[in-house]
Amino acid sequence: MPRRRRRKRRGTSTAPQVSADAPDQVWAADFQFDVTTDGRPIKIVPIVDERTRECLGDMVERNITGDDVIGELERIAADRGTYPVVLR
């Protein structure tokens, strides 16, 4: 008799859900990948304030390292005068 496959369970977070009540509380960074018309890959990292939906910065490069992202976040924080409470 064949065994039944176990159903995958959806994970739940133990951290409390944080919503942005004011600007500069929650910033979101999304890592995206695309390919140019000549077939070469590019990486895209937009950084958005979740309250205002303002694009604080974006990086479009062929190669983006963690140090590059940290540098961009520090540059944005210096321009705005504050760091976010939460970075997603």
Helix locations, 1-88, DSSP H: 66-80
Angle in degrees, CA 60, 87, 45, rounded to 5: 10
Confidence bin at 44 (pLDDT 50/70/90) = very high
Domain that holds residue 45: 26-87
Tell me whether residue 63 is in a domain: yes
Q: What is this structure's pTM?
A: 0.79
Cα first-last separation, the chain: 46
Structural domain contains residue 46: yes
pLDDT at 3: 81
In a domain? residue 20:
no
In a domain, 76, yes or no: yes
Number of domain units in the chain: 1
